[in-house]
Amino acid sequence: MREVILEANELSKTYTIGERQESVLEAVSLQVEAGEFVVISGTSGSGKTTLLSILSGLDRPSSGRVTMAGRDITELSEDELAPVRNELTGFVFQAFHLVPSLNALENVMFPAELKRDPAAKDKASTLLQKVGLWHRRHNYPQQLSGGEKQRVAICRALINTPKIIFADEPTGNLDSENSRSIIELLLELHREHNTTLVMATHSGEVAAQADRIIQLHDGRLQNGGGVG
């Protein structure tokens, strides 16, 4: 049976800049099925980051709703939303966003420690071994290469075995060799755990591997957002 894990209804986002209202997303509706790999594609400035942030609960829409695993997250207060986000989602950013004062192992452990998981350290260690970074566990972010930082960030996104991983141009700051291994890693995890993967990218090579491509143009969907 098909399970819709993520649904957006008529999302809009408007920013007020001085006296002007700028519409960044307009009437975006979409559904993502559990286990799908969906790419959000579009030129720079088309609204990919805004959409991913709202879908993942990091940001709020100006209007419209987001339903995640059957829960309307737009209804939740920030205090209610934070644990839901931490439990159900992992986010991989273009700029890694690791905590500079924590080493690789501590960065990966962080989301599990937030929910007082006694196995946080074991899980983080297993993940770092899996991505070949066990020998770097004591390194701080500034002592890691770009590709290594992104692998740490992916481990951090995975530690609570989320149902959905959001990735915003995860290879945008990496060379082609590192990019390929990051995408391979994400796809392997997606296949292994049937994790839903929602990724913004403007790489055609990456998009070609997706189950479905959602095309954004000036904050609007170019094709239907329904399950393909």
Ligand X SMILES: Nc1ncnc2c1ncn2[C@@H]1O[C@H](COP(=O)(O)OP(=O)(O)O)[C@@H](O)[C@H]1O
* Secondary structure (H, E, C), 51-77: HHHHHCCCCCCCEEEEEECCEEHHHCC
Q: Which one of 9, 41, 46, 49 is in contact with Mg ion (CB under 5 A)?
A: 49
8 Å CB contact between 39 and 228: no
**Which CB, 71 or 202, lies closer to ligand X?**
202
Q: Which is nearer to ligand X, 51 or 120 (CB)?
A: 51
Measured distance CA(28)–CA(25) in Å, rounded: 7
Residue 50 engages Mg ion in binding (rule: CB under 5 A): no
* Residues between 129 and 158 with contacts to ligand X, criterion CB under 6 A: none
Stretch that binds ligand X, among 29-37, 43-51, 122-130, 186-194 (CB under 6 A): 43-51
d(CA 109, CA 159): 7
Could you give the residue ranges of the DSSP H alpha helices within 145-211? 146-158, 176-193, 204-207
Selected range binding Mg ion among 32-40, 41-49, 118-126, 141-149, rule: CB under 5 A? 41-49
176-193 and 146-158 helices cross at what angle (nearest 10)? 10
Minimum CB separation of residue 44 from Mg ion in Å reads 7
Q: Closest approach of Cβ 24 to ligand X, in Å? A: 4
Of the candidate spans 42-50, 141-149, 151-159, 206-214, the one that interacts with Mg ion by CB under 5 A turns out to be 42-50
41 binds Mg ion per the rule CB under 5 A: no
SS3 114: helix
Which residues in this chain contact ligand X in the complex, by CB under 6 A?
15, 17, 22, 24, 42, 44-50
